[in-house]
């Protein structure tokens, strides 16, 4: 593994907070992911950088050497980037936005908002079932931003050094035929679906370990599991062959309905990612706020779910009731 600036930021964060756990929180990473990354850094440098015990993490002699160099290199690199940006006129809005998505429910609305705000911008989209593939494309400079989802409180992999921010969090729903005996209920207990066959789209989602764990907590093991594309999922549910997990803003076709699972045994977090050292990083905050607005747009066709969100503020876009104005990518402040 080659040492990169992001690795130096990890070392500095651990030293500044005195704890891997606190550093993980500061960096927006899961603690096990940061621990694994630190271990790889230490293997690359040839020895431990920190002594860790109940009192926290303290730099070793090697760690002090790395920190001394990092505290010179990181500000110098930041200064270089700032000066290069000013010289190149990079304070202007980006001329292109390249989005990658993993089964994102509101990518179209995000593209619409960005296009409306910047009519001259070039906007492209790329779909993949693999968040790792999308992250690699960002690192390789072929994409600017990624929209993906994770189950519960987990986070996307930090392996590629992307920065991740939450857009929204929603309960996972179940997709049923209108003729299903449980379709008349507003909420369905997961245990009442124990005799069903299930289907889901491929990719990194709730249909793996999270779903199996939720079923185990409800006291059963799911029956046969199908995996196919979204169109195939809808066809299997419509045929009465299976039921499906789906996102809260999924719009079911005629003959199918979505229902909440009682007690919210599964949650889906929509995440927005970018590389902090990429040219697109300067627009990341504006695009994130635009993504949150696009999520709000996606709620319009779902008045019942919107009413549920009002009663359950821990879901949806988690923010204060009053929003401060946000500067767009051109620096213009908008409500």
256 and 283 housed in the same domain: no
260 and 181 housed in the same domain: yes
245 and 290 housed in the same domain: no
128 and 45 housed in the same domain: no
Any domain includes 333: no
Q: What CATH number is given to the structural domain containing 10? A: 1.10.10.10
What distances in angstroms separate CA 235 from CA 95, 182, 204, 284, 321, one per listed residue? 40, 19, 21, 38, 40
Any domain includes 47: yes
182 and 100 housed in the same domain: no
218 and 188 housed in the same domain: yes
pLDDT digits (tens), the chain, 335 positions: 778 888 999 999 999 999 998 988 888 777 888 888 899 999 999 999 999 988 899 999 999 999 999 999 988 888 887 676 566 544 455 689 999 987 677 888 999 999 999 998 999 999 888 888 899 999 989 999 999 988 888 778 777 889 999 999 999 999 999 999 999 999 999 999 999 999 887 765 555 678 889 999 999 998 878 888 888 999 999 999 999 999 898 889 999 999 999 999 999 999 999 999 898 999 999 999 999 999 999 998 899 999 999 999 999 998 643 333 334 444 433 33
Any domain includes 239: yes
Q: What CATH number is given to the structural domain containing 201? A: 3.40.190.10
| Residue ranges with strand state E in the chain | 50-53, 56-59, 96-101, 122-127, 145-151, 163-171, 173-177, 187-188, 198-200, 225-227, 243-246, 256-261, 267-274, 326-327, 333-334
Any domain includes 65: yes
13 and 72 housed in the same domain: yes
Assess contact for 318 and 166: CB atoms under 8 A.
yes
278 and 148 housed in the same domain: yes
Residue at which a domain ends, from 63, 88, 113:
88
43 and 186 housed in the same domain: no
Any domain includes 322: no
Q: In a 3-state reduction of DSSP, which class is residue 96?
A: strand
Any domain includes 281: yes
152 and 300 housed in the same domain: yes
213 and 228 housed in the same domain: yes
227 and 80 housed in the same domain: no
If you write DSSP's letter for every residue of 32-68 in order, what string do you get? HHHHHHHHHHHHHHTS-SEEEETTEEEE-HHHHHHHH
Any domain includes 126: yes
Instruction: Find the domain containing 218 and state its range.
Output: 173-265
Residue at which a domain ends, from 88, 121, 146:
88
Q: How many domains does the chain have?
A: 3
Assess contact for 24 and 33: CB atoms under 8 A.
yes
Residue at which a domain ends, from 68, 88, 108:
88
Any domain includes 328: no
pLDDT at 262: 96
């Amino acid at each position: 593994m080659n040492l990169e600036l992001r690795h130096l930021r990890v070392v500095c964060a651990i030293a500044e907070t005195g704890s891997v756990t606190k550093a993980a929180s500061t960096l927006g990473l899961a603690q096990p992911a940061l621990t694994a990354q630190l271990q790889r850094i230490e293997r690359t440098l040839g020895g431990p950088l920190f002594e860790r015990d109940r009192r926290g993490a303290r730099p070793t002699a090697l760690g002090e050497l790395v920190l001394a160099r990092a505290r010179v290199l990181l500000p110098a690199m930041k200064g270089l980037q700032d000066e290069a940006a000013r010289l190149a006129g990079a304070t202007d809005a980006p001329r292109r936005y390249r989005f990658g998505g993993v089964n994102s429910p509101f990518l179209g609305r995000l593209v619409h908002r960005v296009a409306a705000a910047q009519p001259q911008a070039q906007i492209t989209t790329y779909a993949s079932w693999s968040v790792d593939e999308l992250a690699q494309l960002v690192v390789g400079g072929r994409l600017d931003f990624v929209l993906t989802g994770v189950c519960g409180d987990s986070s996307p992999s930090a392996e590629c050094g992307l920065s991740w921010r939450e857009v929204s969090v929603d309960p996972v729903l179940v997709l049923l035929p209108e003729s299903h005996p449980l379709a008349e209920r507003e909420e369905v207990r997961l245990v009442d679906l124990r005799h069903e066959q299930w289907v889901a789209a491929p990719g990194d989602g709730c249909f793996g370990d999270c779903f199996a764990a939720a079923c185990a907590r409800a006291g059963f093991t799911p029956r046969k599991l199908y995996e196919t594309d979204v169109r195939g999922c809808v066809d299997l549910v419509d045929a009465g062959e299976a039921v499906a997990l789906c996102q809260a803003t999924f719009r079911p076709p005629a003959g199918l309905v979505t229902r909440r699972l009682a007690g919210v045994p599964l949650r889906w977090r929509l995440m927005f990612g970018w590389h902090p050292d990429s040219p697109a990083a300067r627009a990341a905050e504006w695009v994130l706020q635009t993504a949150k607005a696009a999520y709000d747009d996606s709620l319009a066709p779902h008045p019942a779910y919107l009413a549920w969100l009002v009663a359950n503020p821990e879901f949806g876009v988690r923010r204060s009731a009053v929003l401060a104005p946000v500067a767009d990518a051109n620096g213009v402040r908008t409500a």
